[in-house]
Structure 1
Amino acid sequence: MTTSVRDHVSAEEWALRQDLAACYRLVAQMGWDDLVFTHISARVPGPEHHFLINPYGLMFDEITASNLVKVNGQCQKVIDSPHPVNPAGFVIHSAVHAARPDVQCVLHTHTTAGVAVSAQADGVLPISQQSTFVLASLGTHAYEGVAFRPDEGPRLQVDLGANTFLLLKNHGLLTVGGSVADAFLAMHTFESTCRIQVAAQSGGGALTAVDPAILRGTAEAMRVQTGGLGGAFVWPALLRKLDRTAPDFRA
């Protein structure tokens, strides 16, 4: 597929494609990618229930606005593309999108810190400021093997509920957002939480827990921190970074 895809989609979809391609590049730059595995999906505006997903087999630092593939809810291509897609990998994403019309973007990772915390019996511990944001909106989903069976979808939907964060036990991390920027900021918080937890535990000393009462104020704290903009507060700066380091994401 060439950049001519821009001539065949709406301005709104093209903007979304650039945001999603940026998210893939940022995930790669942050070291959260897992070769060509895992996915970030985004719902295309409109009544068709179409989604954008990565061409399967490309590294995340190869993703561009044009080579993202548009699929339906069954991960079947709705715009011709020379690139393959991974229907099995879309199972988690399609389940979330089906249950959460408020969600535009679903971001899933297999980072070392994320999987390490997901394997711990107590999961996320309330031991950092970052963890308070996660724990205020966290679901947990038990491991059922590699997630390619559609029958797992309803259980995953229940476990996510209305939350922003989902700990996939023995598997990794998942965040959702009303925009690509929101899902990315949530994952940055989730990943930081897990890295801090693993680092704190490696010291071998007793850990200090945050007062549970503080969790009740995290939504307001995040609103203040981001000027009420959520992920949109940091997104322009992240795009400027990519324009300096990997501007071809927009192609």
Structure 2
Amino acid sequence: MATQLEREFKCSEAEWTARLELAACYRIFDMLGWSESIYNHISVRVPDEEGAFLLNPYGLLWSEVTASNLVKIDIDGNKLDGSTFPVNKAGFTQHSYFHRHLDWAHAIVHTHTPDTMAVCCTEEGLTPTNFYSCFFEGCIGYHDFEGITVRAEEGERLLRNLGNGRQVLMLRNHGPVVLGRTLPEMFFLYYMLQRACEIQVKTRAAGTPIVVPEEVIAQHQRDRESVALPGGFGKADFEAWVRKLDKVDRSWRD
């Protein structure tokens, strides 16, 4: 049954559910220290609406994002919900291109966390030297730095460098982009990538990294599904963090 706020907001039940999920994601990222002032962006497609997606209101901290203040735009940049907030042009340019051309990309995140950026700034990128990074071996694309992503023509190169079947694009000298078929999938892929980068940076400071053999990496990737919980990749993890978020602050539901 629709809540009073949902009725007042005048959106479909499916859109309100997407808004709640995305607002929670922003707050969880902020709680985990993965936000960057008013910058960076997470987007989600609006269910049952061709070409529409939700993005954070530019100018607000991620700790201020709520279900109702997310901005609904189309892939041409037109606001669809009458929001008075602007959207970050860099966020729109990047996300709209992926949403337009990848029908499976439901949720997309781009961040500037120090550890993920540090790995993006190295020649070799992410290396198979820890438990988490081995999951990503052979599954990451790399895109050379072209400055702030505000020019539409860069989108073609972003898509080409992502490549078929990949869900992570490391923007060199910049930061990662992670795409998911669901928001929980995107969240947990990012969680694993963040961990992989944190450990790689610390390992480099501690000594010489040990590279995992290819046959062990292959087995490691195959065995991932054997420890997965029901409901889809990342679902249980995301729900657990939502429970923790609700104990701290429930204002994201507004």
Q: Does TM, scored on the shorter chain, surpass 0.5?
A: yes
The answer for the alignment partner of 2:174 in structure 1 is 171
Aligned to 2:249: 246
Q: Are residues 145 and 7 of structure 1, via their aligned partners in 2, closer, same or farther at CA, if it must alter by over 3 Å? A: closer
Pick the aligned partner of 1:121 from 120, 123, 137: 123
Normalization by structure 1: what TM-score?
0.94
Shift of 1:47: 4.0
Q: Structure 2 residue aligned with 1:222, among 214, 224, 236?
A: 224
| Structure 1 position 148, deviation (Å) | 0.6
Q: Distance in 2 between matches of 1:47 and 1:27?
A: 26
Q: Is the 8 A contact 2:51 2:100 kept in 1?
A: no
Name the structure 2 match of 1:54. 56
Shift of 1:218: 4.6
Deviation at 1:96, TM superposition (A): 1.3
* 211-220 or 55-64, larger mean C-alpha shift: 211-220
Provide the C-alpha distance between the structure 2 equivalents of 1:224 and 1:6, rounded to a whole number of angstroms: 44
Aligned to 1:8: 10
Mapping for residues 183-202 of structure 1, pairs under 5 Å? 183-202=186-205
Correspondence 1:144-159 to 2 at 5 A: 144-159=146-161
The root-mean-square deviation of aligned C-alpha atoms, in Å, is 1.6
2:67 partner amino acid: A
Percent identity of paired positions between Structure 1 and Structure 2: 35
Displacement after TM superposition at 1:7 (Å): 4.2
> CA–CA distance in 1 between the matches of 2:124 and 2:16?
42
Greater Cα shift, 225-234 or 43-52: 225-234
TM-score normalised to structure 2 length: 0.93
Secondary structure of the 1:15 match is helix
> SS of the residue aligned with 2:177?
strand
Q: Does residue 1:231 correspond to 2:243, yes or no?
A: no
| Contact 1:65–1:249 (CA under 8 A) maintained in structure 2 | yes
Look up the match of 2:92.
Answer: 90
Specify whether residues 68 and 108 from structure 1 end up closer, same or farther in structure 2 by C-alpha distance, changes over 3 A only.
same
Deviation, 1:233, is 2.2
Shift of 1:88: 3.3
Residues paired across the two proteins, number? 249
Distance 2:169 2:50 in 1: 27
Q: Which amino acid aligns with 1:227?
A: L
Following TM superposition, by how much is the alpha carbon of 1:216 offset from its aligned partner in structure 2, in angstroms? 2.7
List per-residue Cα deviations over 1:223-244 (Å, max 9, x = no partner).
Answer: 2222252011212111111111
Amino acid corresponding to residue 96 of structure 1 in structure 2: F
